[in-house]
């Protein structure tokens, strides 16, 4: 069962990967009327435990488990961000999260379509 904060992270980006260069759908229909497939991963920006990627000893337990310390990714990007720590810093992950949430909001309002197809509205 997916925990509430994980659902929150996924909902904030429309159940798409939070890597703005990816944006892969992470949830879709499964076989059968009442089934779905979830290939998304809830990841911590700063690790919860020592020895894990981007662990920050200055954070307390509540900060580590907070809504702000999480990001929703596809499985490929989840592996990538934990394998290339020099590229995927805390700052980079926070920026990815911010940009992806903005993209999801714009998708919801159809702003991206309108910007690309402005000439169709004339």
34/84: higher pLDDT? 84
DSSP secondary structure string for all residues of 25-48: B-EEE-SSTT-EEE-EEEEESS-S
Residue range 82-105, pLDDT digits in tens: 999 999 999 999 999 999 999 999
Residue 36, strand partner residues: 29
pLDDT of 1: 42
| Domains of the chain by residue range | 4-121
What are the residues whose beta carbons fall under 8 Å from the beta carbon of 36, sequence distance 6 or more? 27, 28, 29, 30
Q: How many CA atoms lie within 13 A of 32 on its CB side?
A: 4
**pLDDT tens digits, one per residue of 9-33:** 999 999 999 999 999 999 999 998 8
């Amino acid at each position: 069962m997916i925990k509430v904060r994980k659902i929150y992270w996924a909902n904030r980006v429309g159940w798409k990967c939070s890597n703005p260069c990816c944006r892969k759908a992470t949830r879709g229909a499964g076989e059968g009327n009442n089934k779905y497939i979830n290939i998304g991963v809830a990841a911590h920006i700063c690790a919860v435990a020592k020895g894990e990627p981007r662990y920050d000893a200055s954070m307390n337990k509540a900060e580590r488990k907070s809504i702000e310390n999480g990001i929703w990714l596809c499985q490929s990007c989840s592996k990538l961000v934990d394998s290339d720590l020099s590229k995927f810093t805390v700052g980079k992950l926070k920026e990815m999260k911010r940009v992806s949430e903005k993209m999801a909001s714009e998708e919801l309002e159809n702003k991206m379509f309108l910007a690309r197809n402005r000439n169709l509205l004339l």
